[in-house]
Amino acid sequence: MATHVRHPIGLPALRPADARTFASLYAVESFARATVSSVIPIQAYEILRNEQIVSILYTVVALLGLSVTLFMPMLIRRFARRWVYTAGACLLAVGSLFFVTHTLAGQLAGMLCRVMGASALSITLSLYIMDHIRKTDFMQAESLRMAWSMLAWTSGPTLGIFLYTRFGIYAAHGAVAIFAMALLALFWTYRLGDNQSIRPGKTRPANPLANIGRFVAQPRLRLAWLIAFGRSCFWTTFFVYGPLFMVITGEGELAGGLLVSAGNALLFTAIFWGRVGQRFGGRRTMTSAYFAMSAMLLAAGAVGESVPFLTGALLLCGAFFAIALDALGSTAFMRSVRSYERAQMAAVYRTYLDFSELTPPLVYSVVLAFFGLGSVFATLGLLAAVCGFVTWRYLPKSL
């Protein structure tokens, strides 16, 4: 019939990626990494039976991870970004296969897969965020991402230890593989694509050393790296020396575990800090957080071993302010990096994580040769004060 009209069939459309999209991806990724974060060092010690050799193993893996991070832009340039993200998720699952061998070679291979996977996921996710989130919404998006990861980092380590001790090595690392595959399925469900309107410049540096030089030549990128390095040093110290402090002072391993869990549980305050940053500005909020964190750490260093629970409470207060830097700190990089060199600069920026895992133990080993364990927190407090001053002095007021 001439009057018959065939209407097009409505196909389901995926809503555009927003802050919740990336928060959900990061939450699942956090479960994949947090579940065995406490199992891996225990497993390494069971294999090596020597604390010093375990430290050497972690140092070697950190150095190799730094190299992988710097070469990541070459992979992103060669392959589509979605495939690098996919490879990152798969590496977390493959790492589990190596870990279950319970051999030194398997341990090293598993740790390397874990580091490479985390690097690929972190860099590509940052690029997706910068493509899909407006600069004015970075604070809200990052604070939401941190808050959604709270459950993973609070319950994940406990879940991993429970599975490892109750059901064995296959259960603990099998859970990681399940979370990694769930992350992969979620990622492909969202169908995220590269931003085709952003094309790399023809003269951009291609090798890692040139990328480092380009990064260092930009003052705002150097500042963003320092902000991230300072807060990452806090978490490295908190996760390692917090439980160690509780054990040495006689409070026991349970107290140390509860301290770490309580610090992770505070991640839900990231949403609060995101609103504070939007209300008062990123510069003022991050500067205040650094100075407040410094005060808590210096006080913890002064109290030291005399009142362990008070020292623990002061460390938790420091964690509260460190989460402000988690929620807002990466916006300094995201709002400063040029669109055509995001992949190269994101790779160099992420080295703050590797350096924050290498530098504090080296510095603390010297400090502890002359002072007690509380000096570790005081030393970190001085670093936080320096980072706070530099942030206040050089971070633009418009951030």
Note whether 47 and 166 are same-domain residues: yes
Note whether 245 and 113 are same-domain residues: no
Question: Which pTM value belongs to this model?
Answer: 0.79
CA distance 367 to 248: 17
Average pLDDT over residues 71-91: 89
Crossing angle, helix 104-132 and helix 81-99, to 10 degrees?
160
Written as six digits, the tokens of 32 are 């994949």
Residue that is last in its domain, among 135, 164, 192:
192
Contact between 211 and 344 under an 8 Å Cβ cutoff? The reply is yes
Contact between 372 and 363 under an 8 Å Cβ cutoff? The reply is no
CA distance 265 to 277: 20
Q: State the first-to-last Cα distance of the chain, in angstroms, to the nearest integer.
A: 63
Going by C-alpha positions, the residue among 212, 204, 191 that lies closest to residue 80 is 191
Note the pLDDT of residue 202. Answer: 44
Note whether 358 and 214 are same-domain residues: yes
> Residue 250 falls within a domain, yes or no?
yes
Residue linked to tokens 């010297």: 366
Residue that is last in its domain, among 166, 192, 218:
192
pLDDT in tens, 128-137: 988 888 877 7
Q: What is the mean pLDDT of the chain?
A: 85
**pLDDT bracket for residue 388 (50, 70, 90):** very high
Q: Any idea what the CATH number is for the domain that residue 124 is in? A: 1.20.1250.20
> Residue 55 falls within a domain, yes or no?
yes
**pLDDT bracket for residue 253 (50, 70, 90):** low
Least confident segment among 81-85, 181-185, 381-385: 81-85
Note whether 182 and 212 are same-domain residues: no
Note whether 214 and 188 are same-domain residues: no
Residues 6+ away with beta carbon under 8 Å from 59: 358
Note whether 177 and 243 are same-domain residues: no
Whether the pLDDT of residue 181 is over 90: the answer is yes
> Residue 46 falls within a domain, yes or no?
yes
Note whether 163 and 280 are same-domain residues: no
Note whether 122 and 214 are same-domain residues: no
User: HEC states along the chain?
Assistant: CCCCCCCCCCCCCCCCCCHHHHHHHHHHHHHHHHCCCCHHHHHHHHHHCCHHHHHHHHHHHHHHHHHHHHHHHHHHHHCCHHHHHHHHHHHHHHHHHHHCCCCHHHHHHHHHHHHHHHHHHHHHHHHHHHHHCCHHHHHHHHHHHHHHCHHHHHHHHHHHHHHHHHCCHHHHHHHHHHHHHHHHHHHHHHCCCCCCCCCCCCCCCCCHHHHHHHHHCCHHHHHHHHHHHHHHHHHHHHHHHHHHHHHHCCCCHHHHHHHHHHHHHHHHHHHHHHHHHHHHCHHHHHHHHHHHHHHHHHHHHHHCCCCHHHHHHHHHHHHHHHHHHHHHHHHHHHCCCCHHHHHHHHHHHCHHHHHHHHHHHHHHHHHCCCCCCHHHHHHHHHHHHHHHHHHHHHCCCCC
- Range of 280's domain? 208-398
Note whether 178 and 235 are same-domain residues: no
> Residue 199 falls within a domain, yes or no?
no
**pLDDT bracket for residue 343 (50, 70, 90):** confident
Note whether 187 and 294 are same-domain residues: no
> Residue 166 falls within a domain, yes or no?
yes
Written as six digits, the tokens of 369 are 């040769």
Q: How many domains does the chain have?
A: 2
Least confident segment among 83-87, 145-149, 221-225, 246-250: 246-250
Residue linked to tokens 């080993």: 365
**pLDDT bracket for residue 221 (50, 70, 90):** very high
Average pLDDT over residues 245-270: 81
Whether the pLDDT of residue 7 is over 50: the answer is no
Q: Which residue has the higher pLDDT, 242 or 287?
A: 287
> Residue 10 falls within a domain, yes or no?
no
CA distance 260 to 356: 18
Note the pLDDT of residue 399. Answer: 67
Angle (CA) 49 262 93, round 5°: 55
Note whether 25 and 134 are same-domain residues: yes
Residue that is last in its domain, among 192, 218, 233:
192
Residue 80 CB: number of other CB atoms within 10 A? 11
Which amino acid would we find at residue 185? A
> Residue 202 falls within a domain, yes or no?
no
Note whether 174 and 226 are same-domain residues: no
Angstrom CA distances, 348 to 117, 142, 217, 322, 354, stand at 16, 20, 12, 22, 11
> Residue 304 falls within a domain, yes or no?
yes
Whether the pLDDT of residue 101 is over 60: the answer is yes
pLDDT in tens, 35-73: 888 788 878 888 887 766 776 787 788 888 888 888 888
